[in-house]
Amino acid sequence: MHHKSLAELASALKAREFSSEELTQHYLKRIERLNEDLNSFITVSTEEALKQAKAADAILQSGEGSSITGIPLAHKDIFCTTGVKTSCGSKMLDNFTAPYNATVVSRLKTAGAVMLGKTNMDEFAMGSSNETSFYGSVKNPWAHDRVPGGSSGGSAAAVAARLTPAATGTDTGGSIRQPAALCGITGLKPTYGRVSRYGMIAFASSLDQGGPMARTAQDAALLLNIMAGFDERDSTSVAQDVPDYTLSLEESIEGVRIGLPKEYFDENLNPGIAIPIEAAIKEFERLGAQIREISLPNTKLAVPTYYVVAPAECSSNLSRYDGTRFGYRCDNPKDLLDLYCRSRGEGFGPEVKRRILIGTYVLSAGYYDAYYLKAQKLRRLISDDFKQALTEVDVIMGPTSPTPAFRLGEKSDDPVAMYLADIYTINVNLAGLPALSIPAGFAQGLPVGLQIIGNYFSESRLLNLAHRYQQVTDWHDRIPAGY
C-alpha cells in the first residue's frame, strides 16, 4: 500500500479496496519498524490514529467524505495539536501539550485525514539540516550518514521512506523546499498569507508559511485545496478565494515562459547538481515551454538580509518562553531573574541562542538603523527583482539546493556554511512568493531538487508545471533502498 501516492490511496479507499483502519495500521507498523533508524517522528499517536481511521471508515461507508478522508498523514511538530505534545523540537516545549488545534490541523482533520503523529524538526525551525533538534538528528533515508535537510527534515524523511503518504511542513527560508530536494519528494511553499499561521508556533512571523510535503504535485494539490484559505484568527491571512488546484494539473504548458536566473547557475552551484537541473529544464522545453535567461541582481544579498530579519523576529517571538507560564522551568530558582536566565539558558539549544542574541543585537537602540532597517530596505530590492523578472517570464526555475545532502556533522561547526545551504530559497520568503521543489534526478547517488518560483497566488501554475513534468519522468517514484 505504501507504494501508492496519496491520490491513488484516496481512490482505493473510495473503491473500498481496503479500509482506512487497515491503511493506518500498515503505516503505523512501518513507523514502528523503520523509524528508530531514521528518527523522523517525535510522537506517534497510535490510539488516536486508529480512532480517527474508524471514524473515517464510517464516513466512507456512507458514501460521503472529502478527497482525503481516511488518508493517514503526519504533522511537523510545530503545529499545535489538541492533547498531543507540540515540542517544536526543543527542550523548552518538551512538556507542552497544546489545548487547541492549529488551523491547518483542524482543516485536515475536518476533511477526514488521520494523524499518524508529529515529525522531528530543527529546534524552533532554526536550521538547514535537522541536526539542532532536542530529540536528535533525523537521518536521510537515501543515506543514513547524510542530513535530510531542515527544518522540516522529519516530514521529508518520513514521506521519502514511505512512513506516511504526506506530511505538513513550514517554510521560513526554504524549510519545506530544501528538505524536499535532499530527500527526493515534492514540497510546496505557498504565497505568504495563503495558508493560516494560527497555531503554527512562530519563528519569524513575516516569513513563516505552512505547506504540503508529498510524493507528487497532484498529492500536494489535493492537500493545498484543504489547507489554503482565509482565517480570521490570523491577521496575515489573505482573504482570497481558493481555486481547486487539481483542475489545472493537466493543462498544456505550451508557450509558458521559464526564466533561468544567471545568478543561480554560477560557481556556487555544485557541478553534480547542474547536470540534472539542466536536463530537467530541457524536458520542459520538449513539453513546449520557452526558456529565457534572466537576472536577479540582488540574489547575493539574500543570505545576509535574511539572517538579520529572521533572528530579529525570532528574538521577539521567543521572548515569551521564560519559565513562568508554560514550557521548561529550571529547578529551584533563587529569584525571578534566576528563573528567567536559567530557564532560557537550559531550555534553548545553541543555534536558537545564537539567533536570539543576533536578533536582540540588531534590534538594539544603537544598531537598529545600521542593521535591521537596512535589511528591510534590501528586502524590498530583492522583492523588486522578482517583480521585474516576472513581467518578462511566467515562472522562474533553478536548483533548490547548491549541493546534494551533506554528511551529518559536516557543517555543524560552521554556521555560515550551513546558512549558505539556503542560498536559492531564502529570497523567495523575503519576497513572499510561492515556490515548490520537485525531484529532478540524482547526484552522487543522492536526490536533486528543481525549484519552480511563481508570482503571487500562482500555485496552480506551479503545480501544473510540476505535474506535467512528473508525467514524463519517474524521479518522484524512486524509493530509497530498504524502504
Q: Does residue 437 have an active-site annotation? A: no
The Cα–Cα gap between 205 and 475 comes to: 34
Type of residue numbered 38: L
The Cα–Cα gap between 7 and 275 comes to: 31
Using CA atoms, how far residue 266 sits from 12, 137, 300, in Å, is 46, 31, 11
List the catalytic residue out of 5, 40, 66, 76: 76
Q: What is the DSSP string of 133-163?
A: -TT-PPPBTTBTTB---SSTHHHHHHHHTTS
The Cα–Cα gap between 292 and 276 comes to: 18
Q: Does residue 248 have an active-site annotation? A: no
| Non-local CB neighbours of 77 within 8 Å, separated by 6+ positions | 42, 43, 85, 86, 87, 88, 89, 118, 119, 120, 121, 154
In 156-309, which ranges are E strands? 166-170, 186-189, 210-214, 257-261, 290-294
List the catalytic residue out of 20, 133, 151, 196: 151
Q: Does residue 460 have an active-site annotation? A: no
Using CA atoms, how far residue 145 sits from 403, 407, 416, 442, 446, in Å, is 15, 6, 21, 17, 12
| Non-local CB neighbours of 101 within 8 Å, separated by 6+ positions | 80, 81, 82, 109, 199
> Which of 101, 92, 82, 99 minimizes the C-alpha distance to 324?
92
The Cα–Cα gap between 439 and 342 comes to: 44
Q: How many CB atoms lie within 10 A of CB 478?
A: 13
Listed in sequence order, the DSSP H helices in 168-243 are 177-183, 217-227
List the catalytic residue out of 175, 196, 437, 460: 175
Type of residue numbered 45: S
Residue carrying C-alpha cell 517544536: 88
| Non-local CB neighbours of 414 within 8 Å, separated by 6+ positions | none
Residue carrying C-alpha cell 496552480: 460
361-386 core/surface letters (b: 16 or more CB in 10 A; e: else): bbbeeeeeeebbeebeebbeebbebb
| φ/ψ (deg, to 5) at 200 | -100, 110
**448 within 8 A of 441, measured Cβ to Cβ:** yes
**413 within 8 A of 151, measured Cβ to Cβ:** no
- State the catalytic residues: 76, 151, 175
